[in-house]
Amino acid sequence: MTTLKAKLQEDLTTAIRERNELHSSTLRLTLAAITKEEVAGKEARVLSDEEVLKVIAKEAKKRREAAEAFAQGGRADQAARETAEGEFLDTYLPKQLTDDELGAIVAQAVDEARAAGAEGPRAMGAVMKIVSPKVAGLAEGGRVAAAVKKHLSQ
């Protein structure tokens, strides 16, 4: 078992002992998503810590999107719960890059792509290929794409 998955299970046990319903239900759903990912495909496998982080990030993103949908639907109580679950899951994720840090990485990648001959908005794919590995797990794809578009349009 990976160390991150073991930590999630230990935290679940602690949350159950402390009768923390929010944390225990969030961890149960996250562990279920990890197990689902492990048994998906032709044969079962154990996820690495990096893959577990991707599942946690996906679950946190689901919570943020659900909170937004509930808020638009006038369900403030449910939106607050989804937001709290998302914030709790964020504690397991690496610290996200600030806009300035992301901008610096994108600017460097745009310069590299231009040096390789990619110009204008059509260079988006080339720049994303350079940026994606550098910011994997540190910034959401939508934020990265927006930053790349902004830098290419300048």
Ordered mean pLDDT values, 10 residues apiece, the chain (154 residues)? 84 94 94 92 85 89 92 92 92 83 82 74 77 78 81 74
- Asked if 67 and 83 touch (Cβ cutoff 8 Å), the reply is yes
pLDDT at 18: 95
**In this structure, how many other beta carbons lie within 10 angstroms of the beta carbon of residue 64?**
17
pLDDT at 1: 57
List, in order, residues 6 or more apart from 43 with CB less than 8 Å away.
none
pTM (2 d.p.): 0.74
Residue matched to tokens 């460097």: 108
CA 1 to chain centre: 22
Could you give the CA distance from residue 96 to residue 74 in angstroms, rounded to a whole number? 29
Instruction: List the structure tokens of 36.
Output: 């689902």
Between the CA of residue 110 and those of 96, 100, 135, what are the distances in Å?
Answer: 21, 15, 14
